[in-house]
C-alpha cells in the first residue's frame, strides 16, 4: 500500500521535490497555456519530465526523473528509502498509520514499480508517452 501511495503522490503534482537547479527542466520555457487535454498543473509536470521538449516523455526521460527523485528521498544514501524518508518527501502518505520501521524500498524496486506503470500507460507500446498517455499514467492503478 505504501508503494501505491508513493506513486499516486509522485504523479499528482508533488513534483517540486524533484527539481534540481540548473537542470534542463528548470530552464525549459514555462507554458503560457495548458497542453491540450491536460490541466495547467499536469502540463507543467509533463514538461518537467519532457527534458528535450519534444512533446512526449520517453522511457529514459521518465527513468531519469524517478532516479533523481529516489536519490533525493534517500537522504542517508544507503541505497533504499524507508517509510520515514517517504513521509518526509510526502507528508500525506499513510499519515493515519503508524510508521513501519521494517519498510524498505531499493532503487531497483522503485524503478521497477514506476517503469511498470509507464509501460501500462504506453498504450501504443512505442516507448514514449504523449500528453494523453501521460494522463493515463497518472490514473493507472497498481
Helix or strand run (H / E) with residue 133: helix 131-138
Classify residue 85: in a domain, yes or no.
Answer: yes
Average pLDDT over residues 87-103: 83
CA 89 to each of CA 27, 39, 97, 110: distance values in angstroms, whole numbers, following the listed order: 23, 23, 16, 15
Q: Which triple of cell numbers denotes residue 48?
A: 518537467
Number of domains in the chain: 1
Indicate the DSSP class of residue 19.
-
Q: Name the percent of the chain lying above pLDDT 90.
A: 49
Q: 117: domain CATH number? A: 1.10.238.10
Beta-carbon contacts of residue 103 (< 8 Å; ≥ 6 apart): 2, 82, 83, 86
Range of the domain at 47: 2-13+38-138
3-state secondary structure of 70: helix
Q: Give the C-alpha separation, 5 to 136, whole Å.
A: 17
As a whole number, the mean pLDDT across the chain is 79
Out of 27-31, 44-48, 66-70, which region has the weakest mean confidence (pLDDT)? 27-31
Each residue of 112-132: pLDDT tens digit? 989 999 999 999 999 999 999
Amino acid at each position: 500500500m505504501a508503494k501505491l501511495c508513493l506513486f499516486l503522490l509522485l504523479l499528482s503534482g508533488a513534483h517540486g521535490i524533484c527539481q534540481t537547479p540548473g537542470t534542463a527542466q528548470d530552464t525549459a520555457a514555462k507554458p503560457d497555456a495548458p497542453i491540450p487535454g491536460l490541466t495547467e498543473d499536469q502540463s507543467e509536470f509533463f514538461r518537467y519530465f519532457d527534458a528535450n521538449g519534444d512533446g512526449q516523455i520517453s522511457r529514459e526521460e521518465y527513468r531519469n526523473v524517478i532516479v533523481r527523485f529516489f536519490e533525493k528521498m534517500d537522504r542517508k544514501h544507503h541505497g533504499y528509502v524507508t517509510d520515514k524518508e517517504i513521509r518526509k518527501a510526502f507528508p500525506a502518505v499513510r499519515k493515519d498509520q503508524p510508521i513501519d520501521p521494517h519498510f524498505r524500498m531499493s532503487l531497483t524496486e522503485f524503478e521497477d514499480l514506476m517503469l511498470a506503470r509507464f509501460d501500462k500507460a504506453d498504450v501504443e507500446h512505442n516507448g514514449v508517452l504523449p500528453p494523453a498517455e501521460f494522463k493515463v499514467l497518472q490514473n493507472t492503478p497498481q
